[in-house]
């Protein structure tokens, strides 16, 4: 008999195991068995511990008579009823304290119970609560524990597009950057040439052209 309540990094492994075993319950369940079935990679020991705790396999990994009786039931309601009996028996201390209300206890209260019973950390207590909730759901007595979902494909696409989209730069930013680059350019060895093209308008007299050239001299050449 396992002293402490079982736990696992997630509840998906035990859910997958029960679903698989309803189709075909192996003669003997070992880590190698779970590996071949692609169940809970690298976490096989947790699943085996849970199966032993609930009384589905014995210390040698063989299917127990109780498990054979439950997993031979094809009807979902009958299967859930049979599994509920095994879960309730294995979690006797929890049900003796809360009765059938234990099936739907809030997560925080479950964590408190497991931590006080087994003197576990908050992380282990949370995982113990998650496994019990998964077993309760498989027994038809509670909703499946919530799982954290990753970003959807659309969210990923939008995020990727946002990262790859070119940043809009205003004319003021361009001018500021250009001015900064000019200020950082060392004056030594730099030569600057400028070509100015002037389209002169048709003027009735010479005085108009003279004013234009005087303005160029005062504002461009001497400025």
Residues 8-67: pLDDT tens digits?
Answer: 999 999 999 999 999 999 999 999 999 999 999 999 999 999 999 999 999 999 999 999
CA 28/CA 147 separation, integer angstroms: 30
Crossing angle of the two packed helices 44-54 and 76-90, in degrees rounded to 10: 90
In this prediction, residue 215 has a pLDDT band, given cuts at 50, 70 and 90, of confident
Render pLDDT for 77-134 as a digit per residue (tens, 0 to 9). 999 999 999 999 999 999 999 999 999 999 999 999 999 999 999 999 999 999 999 9
Mean pLDDT calculated for residue range 193-216: 70
CA 131/CA 6 separation, integer angstroms: 7
Mean pLDDT calculated for residue range 167-190: 48
Please give the model's pTM, rounded to 2 decimal places: 0.64
Contact 9, 46 (CB under 8 A): yes
User: Tokens for 220?
Assistant: 């461009």
Contact 78, 87 (CB under 8 A): no
pLDDT in the model for residue 188: 53
């Amino acid at each position: 008999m396992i002293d402490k309540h079982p736990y696992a990094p997630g509840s998906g492994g035990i859910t997958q195991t029960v679903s698989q075993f309803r189709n075909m319950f192996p003669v003997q369940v070992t880590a190698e068995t779970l590996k071949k079935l692609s169940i809970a990679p690298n976490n096989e020991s947790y699943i085996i511990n849970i199966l032993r705790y609930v009384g589905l396999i014995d210390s040698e990994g063989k299917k127990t008579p109780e498990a054979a009786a439950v997993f031979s039931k094809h009807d979902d309601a009958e299967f859930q009823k049979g599994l509920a009996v095994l879960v309730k028996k294995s979690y006797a201390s929890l049900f003796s304290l809360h009765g059938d209300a234990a099936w739907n206890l809030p997560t925080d209260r479950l964590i408190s119970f497991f931590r006080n019973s087994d003197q576990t950390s908050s992380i282990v207590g949370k995982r113990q609560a998650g496994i019990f909730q998964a077993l309760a759901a498989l027994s038809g007595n509670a909703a499946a524990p919530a799982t954290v979902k990753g970003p959807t494909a659309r969210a990923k696409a939008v995020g990727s597009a946002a990262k790859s989209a070119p940043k809009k730069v205003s004319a003021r930013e361009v001018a500021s950057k250009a001015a900064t680059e000019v200020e950082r350019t060392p004056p030594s060895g730099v030569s600057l040439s400028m070509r100015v093209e002037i389209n002169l308008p048709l003027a009735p007299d010479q005085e108009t052209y003279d004013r234009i050239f005087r303005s160029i001299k005062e504002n461009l050449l001497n400025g």
